[in-house]
Amino acid sequence: MILLDGKRLAGILSDEMARQVAQLRQSTGQVPGLGILRVGDDPAGAVYVENKIKQAKRIGLNVFSRALPDNDEQALVRAIESFNRHPDIHGFIVQLPLPAGWNTNGLLEKIDPSKDADGFHPLNLGRLLADDFDLMPATPAGIVELLRYYDIPVAGKHVVIAGRSRIVGRPLAAVLAGRHPLGNATVTLLHSRTENPGQYIREADIFVSAVGIPHRWKAGMFKSGAVAVDVGINALPGGKLAGDIDPQGLEKMLSAYTPVPGGVGPMTVAMLLRNTLRLFERKMKGKI
């Protein structure tokens, strides 16, 4: 079994992007800017956001980060509108999840689609379904990029995805099933209401889990030689991180696997940075 080393690949891609940012600075006199809006003081969210800020700064982006109260939806609307107008912010994200009861769909629709670094605006999600995109949500992009780097083909394969979130499962299913060079897979999307998920998992050439339940899936459930991609980052009591897939016994079962941590997580951050560069370049087209 080979380990799909997302940490290493994210490092390679980030070094490349750092060079690109330096070049863009030379040719345009401007620096791509990433905005990050965070609501509330959930410590897990804070760790993710701090990491995004650190990696963005490492490749030379300007970072604009604001933390907002969790009892004022209108404050978030105003912050989104101000980032939409801000000339030095080329892409920005609203860190999810938002507080329970907030209108996540309505809020994400307020983001200018041309600054939507996560690709969560309905216009950009719709483009995924139309096979017309150069920008994918960061986690699906990271998974696609990892599989590509390790020469794991998806065309014609059966990809089983567990979890139907807007952040991972739904957009990943759309991309992998699409009619373009990154797609052409046969996709099965499992979720919390799926009856007997094991019957699909044992038929998977590639299995992707984004359910957020520690060690939900075990080695004995997979087809021999399958590839497993673990998007889960679950904190165990005591602070250790566990994926959705129990690593016990995988070695003998799988041909390739993404470790947690160090698999998909770092790729997600690298792809957010790549999206920001693409938005910057789009805006600059004709000016470079």
Task: Write down the least CB distance from residue 52 to ligand GUN, Å.
Answer: 9
Q: Which of 118, 205, 230, 244 is catalytic?
A: 118
Which position has the token pair 């009856």? Answer: 195
Partners of 23 in the β-ladder = none
Polymer length of the chain: 288
The verdict on whether 115 is a catalytic residue reads no
Task: Write down the least CB distance from residue 128 to ligand GUN, Å.
Answer: 15
Task: Write down the least CB distance from residue 39 to ligand GUN, Å.
Answer: 11
Task: Write down the least CB distance from residue 94 to ligand GUN, Å.
Answer: 6
Question: What angle (nearest 5°) sits at the alpha carbon of residue 253, between those of residues 223 and 247?
Answer: 115
For binding to ligand GUN (CB under 6 A), which residues are involved?
Answer: 93-96, 118, 138-139, 167, 268
Residue 66 DSSP code: E
Q: Which of 5, 55, 95, 244 is catalytic?
A: 95
Q: Is the dihedral of CA 248, 149, 262, 200 positive or negative?
A: negative
Spatial CA neighbour of 159 closest among 194, 126, 189 = 189
The verdict on whether 52 is a catalytic residue reads yes
Spatial CA neighbour of 109 closest among 130, 70, 81 = 81
- The residue (of 140 and 259) whose beta carbon lies closer to ligand GUN is 140
Task: Write down the least CB distance from residue 53 to ligand GUN, Å.
Answer: 13
Residue nearest to ligand GUN (CB): 96
Amino acid 8 reads: R
- The residue (of 20 and 268) whose beta carbon lies closer to ligand GUN is 268
Q: For residues 243 and 235, what is the distance between their CA atoms, to the nearest angstrom?
A: 9
Where is 281: in which H helix or E strand?
helix 264-284
Q: For residues 223 and 76, what is the distance between their CA atoms, to the nearest angstrom?
A: 46
- The residue (of 96 and 219) whose beta carbon lies closer to ligand GUN is 96
Task: Write down the least CB distance from residue 269 to ligand GUN, Å.
Answer: 9
Q: Which of 52, 55, 116, 205 is catalytic?
A: 52
- The residue (of 139 and 205) whose beta carbon lies closer to ligand GUN is 139
Token duo for residue 156: 């014609």
Whether the CB-CB separation of 267 and 10 falls below 8 Å is answered with yes
Token duo for residue 249: 């016994």
Q: Please state, as a whole number, how many other Cβ atoms lie within 10 Å of the Cβ of residue 54.
A: 11
- The residue (of 81 and 251) whose beta carbon lies closer to ligand GUN is 81
Whether the CB-CB separation of 141 and 148 falls below 8 Å is answered with no
The verdict on whether 95 is a catalytic residue reads yes
Whether the CB-CB separation of 36 and 89 falls below 8 Å is answered with no
Q: Mind telling me the catalytic residues?
A: 52, 95, 118
